[in-house]
Structures are given as structure tokens and as C-alpha cells.
Structure 1
Amino acid sequence: MKCGIVDVGSNTIRLSIYQWEGRQFKLLMNKKEMAGLAGYIRNGQLSDSGILVACRVLADFNALLDNFDICDIHVFGTASLRNITNTEEALDTIEAVTGIRIEVLSGADEAAFSFLGATVGGGAPASGLLADIGGGSTELVAYTNGSITSGCSLPMGSLSLFTRHVSGLFPTREERRAIRAQVEAELEQAKTRGIHSSHLIGVGGTFRAAAKLCNDLSGADSNNRLIPADEVRGLYKRLKHGDQTALRQILRSVPDRVHTILPGLVILNAVLKHYEVENLCVSTCGVREGYLLQRVMGVNGHV
């Protein structure tokens, strides 16, 4: 069987097409649009322009699935639709225009789906910590012997921090301080506080971009997913000090994240410090795979 899973996020809207049977699945295609919905939030509401952007992307994805004769489509939203005051109005408008009803995940469900997707293939430490840094929220999950012991969703992400604090393309020293202060305050309130883990599983675009930049700058294999925490700290220092080699590498490797990479790295570095992380493993799977497994395939997970 084939299906399309659409993740309506704060920074990107992503379509993943899967073929699945029983408890096995295979990714056939990925497509993303840098919709930047967090940038359309005004006074806590997603603007009409932002709603129309979501409608356009979803209509395009639906047409693409029709071309492949795939009628099974599942669409969920995260912080982009969860952390606004006009959620129902936005959902009703999107459904009226596109015929698609979006399921808005709670922060707890998003964290659990990310964990299920990232750990389903095995190979992860039996106990540890997972972080999913998105455009509008950050999910943290502590687990022991493969089961979640605590988790939370924090209302901060790479794009929402950029939108709130940054006036130009790159944050100034004062803007970085403001971002760091918000991040540290949120981590102090996290339900996972007091936990220490030498290993971290990383999910989301900030982790993928950081790994790509670290690999490019160190000369490591481009497919390497095991990154020492010190390399991430070094990357952040180079970028915040305006290292031209590192900045040019952003434009070559992750140009669509040129404005969000520094805010995302502030979150990432704070997580590394807060939980005393020594190494991180960047997962190739996450919330979409967890949603597929639990909601579509009916695999028992931690949701």
C-alpha cells in the first residue's frame, strides 16, 4: 500500500510518500516547501496570507499524489497550527479550500511520534535523550530501556526565535543574548530537567543542517550522522564570529536555512550544555515516520 504523509510545520511543509506492508515501510519520495508559516503569525494569529500559503502548498501536494494515483493522504500540523489562537478558523478555511482536514498534534503526541520514528529502526542507545528542534517548537524526550520516562514540547524553534528576536539576516550579539536567555529559561522549565545523557538523538532540520555543515567543514563523509558535541560548539562559534568560510558553506550546503541556522544552533548548544551531551546522532527518521507507524500502520508505540 502507498500513502502520503504531510507535515505542516512552522518552517517547512513536507510531503513524504511511503510504501508499506505489515510492519515494514519504505520511503519513496520526499518533497518540501519552505512555507515559513511562523513568519505569518500576527498577534498570535495565523494571517490570511499564511493560511493561503498553506492552502497552495497542500493543493500542490494533493495534485502530485493524484498524478501517482495515491488517494491515501494524511496531514498533520505541529506548532504552526497548535500555538495560534485561530486554529479552528485556519483549519476550517484550509479544509474548505483544499478538501483536506488537518490533524493538529499536541506537543506530547509530537514528542512521542518523533521518538517512535527515530528509534523504530534500532541502533539507538537503550537509554538516553532525544531532541526534535523544529521551526516553531522543540520536543525533548528522556527514555529508559526503550520507553519514554518524561517528555515535553517547548514553544521555541529556529524560525520562531528568528521572527521574534532578529531584525536582520543574522542575529547581532544583543539579539543572540536575547535568544539564549529565552532558550535557557524554557529549558529550566522543561520536564526533562535534571537529566544527564552523554548521547543525544537529534531529529529535525536544525540537526540535519548542523551535521551537514560539520561534515563539510571537517572533511568527514557527507553521510556521517555521529557528530561530537565539540564540533557543534565550534560551528556555532565560527558562525557567530562571522567566519567567512563557514558562512559561505551555509550558502553552498543549506541555503534555505541561512536565516534560521544560528537561532537553531543556540537551541542545540543550550541542549548540549544543559544535558551534558558529548555526542549526538542525527536520525534520518522522525515525526512523519512515527505518525505513519502509529496512525496509519497501527504499530503499537509510545503514543
Structure 2
Amino acid sequence: MKCGIIDVGSNTIRLSIYHYEGRRFKLLMNKKEMAGLAGYIQNGTLSDSGILVACRVLASFKAILENFDIQEMHVFGTASLRNIVNTEEVLDTIRLVTGIEVSVLSGAEEAAYSFLGATVGGGAPAAGLLADIGGGSTELVSYEGGRITSGCSLPMGSLSLYTKYVSGLFPTKEERRAIRAQVKTELERAKTAGVRCSHMTGVGGTIRAAAKLCNDRSNADPDNPVLPAWELQELYQQLKKGDQKTLRQILRSVPDRVHTILPGLVILNCVLNSYEVETVSVSTCGVREGYLLKRVMGVNEHA
């Protein structure tokens, strides 16, 4: 069987095409559009322009699936559609314009699917912390023996923090301080203080971009998935200078993250410090694979 899964995120909208059978699946194709929906949210409302961007991208992805003669399509939204006041209006407009039904995941569902995708689909260690830093939200799940011990979804991400606090391309010292203050407040509100996880598995665009930048700086294999936490903390210290060298490095390695990488790294560093993380691995699987396993394939993570 083949299916397409579309993830409507705050920063990107992604289409993944899978072949699946039994408990096994294979990714056939991945395509993303940097839609930046979080940038179209004003006073908690996704603007008409933002809705049209979502419709345009979804229609183009639907056409791709039709060209491949793939009938099965699943579309879900995360923080981009969850943390707005006009969710139903947006869903109705998308349905009217494109004929596509979009389901909106709760924060708990997004965290659970990210965990399932990373642990069952991506082979994460049996214990540790899972962090999914997206454009509009951050999911944190601590687990042991393959089971969740605590989890939360924080209403902040790399793009939403950029949109809220940053006036230029890179955040100033004062803007970085404001971002860090909100991240720490959200972590304290989530009552995760006291949880310690020496290893973290990272999911999402921020951690993938950070790993790519670290590997580029150290001339390591670009696909090296395991990094010491201090290397990611050192990366932030270098990039926060926001000078010409910083800009060149980001444009060379992760050009589509040029404006969101620093806000994302603030979140990442606060999480590393809060949980006293020592090593970080980057998972190739996440929320889409978790959705595929649970909602499409009906796989129980503990089966």
C-alpha cells in the first residue's frame, strides 16, 4: 500500500509518501514548502493571506499524489492550526477550496506521535528525552523502557519566537534575552524541573539544521547523527554574534533556516541545560512516521 501524509506545520508544510505493509514502512519521497504560516498569525488569527498560502501548497501536494495515482492521503495540522482562534474557519476554507479534510492534532497527540515515530520508526534509545522543536510548538517527552514517563507541549517554536521578538534577520542581545525568558517561563510552567535525562533524541527542523551546522564546522560526516551537547551549546555561542561569517555559514549549510535557527537554538540550549543533557542524537523519523504507524497502520508501540 502507498499513502501520502501531509504535515501542516508553522514553518513548513511537508508531504511524505510511504509504502507500508504489516509493521514495516519505507519512505519513498519527501517534499517541503517553507510556508511560514506562523508569520501570518495576527492577534491569534491566521490571516486570509496565510489561509491562501496553505490552500495553494495543499492543492499542489494533492496534485502530486494524483499524478502518482496515490489515492490514500492523510493531512494533519499542528501548532499552526491548533494555537489560533479561527481554526474552524481555516479548516472550512481549506475544505471548500481544495476538497481536503485536515485534522488538527492536540499537543499531547503531537508529542505521542513524535515519540512513537522516533522510538519505533527511528530506533531511538530505550530511555531518555525526546524533543521536537517545530516552528510553532515544542514537544518534550521523557521516557524509560520504551514508555513515556512525562510529556508536554509548549506553545513556542523557532518561527513563532522569531515573529514575536525579532525585528531584523538575527535577534539582538535584548531580543535573545526576551526569547530566553519566555522559553524558561514555559519550561517552568510545564513543571519539568527536576527531570534529568543524559541523552536526548531530537526531532524536527531545528535539530536537523543544528546538527548539519555542527558537522559542517567540524568537517564531520554531514549525516553524523550523534553530537555532544557542548558542541550544540558552542554552536549557539558562535552564531549569536550574527556577523558576516555567521551569515555565510548558515546560507551555505541551512539557507532556509537563516532567520529561525537562532530562536530555535535558544529553545534547544535551554532544554539541554534544564534536563542536563550530555549527548544528542538526531532522529530521521518523527511526527509523520508516528502518525503513519498509529493512525494508518494501527501499530501499537508496545506490541
Residue in structure 1 matched with residue 10 of structure 2 by the alignment: 10
Distance (whole Å) between structure 2 residues aligned to residue 121 and residue 41 of structure 1 = 33
Letter of the aligned partner of 2:93 in structure 1? T
CA contact (8 A) 2:209 2:261 kept: yes
TM-score by length of 2: 0.98
Residue in structure 1 matched with residue 274 of structure 2 by the alignment: 274
Question: How far is 1:245 from its partner?
Answer: 3.4
2:155 aligned with 1:155: yes
Distance (whole Å) between structure 2 residues aligned to residue 120 and residue 195 of structure 1 = 23
Residue in structure 2 matched with residue 234 of structure 1 by the alignment: 234
Distance (whole Å) between structure 2 residues aligned to residue 71 and residue 94 of structure 1 = 19
Letter of the aligned partner of 2:156 in structure 1? M
CA RMSD of aligned residues (A): 1.1
**Structure 2 segments unaligned to the other structure (5+ residues):** none
Letter of the aligned partner of 1:272 in structure 2? L
Residue in structure 1 matched with residue 292 of structure 2 by the alignment: 292
C-alpha offsets along residues 116-168 of structure 1, whole Å, 9 cap, x if unaligned? Answer: 00011464322111000000000000111000111010000000000000011
Question: How far is 1:192 from its partner?
Answer: 3.0
CA contact (8 A) 1:142 1:192 kept: no
Distance (whole Å) between structure 2 residues aligned to residue 136 and residue 223 of structure 1 = 26
Residue in structure 2 matched with residue 192 of structure 1 by the alignment: 192
Letter of the aligned partner of 1:95 in structure 2? R
Distance (whole Å) between structure 1 residues aligned to residue 50 and residue 225 of structure 2 = 34
C-alpha offsets along residues 262-299 of structure 1, whole Å, 9 cap, x if unaligned? Answer: 00000000000000001100100000000000000010
Residue in structure 1 matched with residue 169 of structure 2 by the alignment: 169
CA contact (8 A) 1:141 1:192 kept: no
Distance (whole Å) between structure 2 residues aligned to residue 122 and residue 245 of structure 1 = 34
1:161–1:95 CA distance, 2 compared to 1 (3 A): same
Letter of the aligned partner of 2:287 in structure 1? V
Superposition pairs of residues 102-121 of structure 1, within 5 angstroms: 102-121=102-121
Letter of the aligned partner of 2:35 in structure 1? A
CA contact (8 A) 1:202 1:282 kept: yes
CA contact (8 A) 1:152 1:191 kept: no
Residue in structure 2 matched with residue 92 of structure 1 by the alignment: 92
CA contact (8 A) 1:140 1:192 kept: no
Letter of the aligned partner of 1:278 in structure 2? E
CA contact (8 A) 2:122 2:283 kept: no
Question: How far is 1:100 from its partner?
Answer: 0.5
Question: How far is 1:244 from its partner?
Answer: 3.9
Superposition pairs of residues 172-251 of structure 1, within 5 angstroms: 172-251=172-251
Question: How far is 1:242 from its partner?
Answer: 3.0
Q: Percent identity?
A: 78
2:29 aligned with 1:29: yes
CA contact (8 A) 2:124 2:283 kept: no
Where 1:116 maps in the other structure, the secondary structure is helix
1:219–1:167 CA distance, 2 compared to 1 (3 A): same
Question: How far is 1:174 from its partner?
Answer: 0.4
Letter of the aligned partner of 1:218 in structure 2? S
Question: How far is 1:191 from its partner?
Answer: 4.1
C-alpha offsets along residues 149-198 of structure 1, whole Å, 9 cap, x if unaligned? Answer: 11010000000000000011110000000000000000111243311011
Superposition pairs of residues 34-53 of structure 1, within 5 angstroms: 34-53=34-53
Where 1:7 maps in the other structure, the secondary structure is strand
**Structure 1 segments unaligned to the other structure (5+ residues):** none
Letter of the aligned partner of 2:75 in structure 1? V
Distance (whole Å) between structure 1 residues aligned to residue 241 and residue 65 of structure 2 = 45
Distance (whole Å) between structure 2 residues aligned to residue 284 and residue 193 of structure 1 = 28
Distance (whole Å) between structure 2 residues aligned to residue 122 and residue 259 of structure 1 = 28
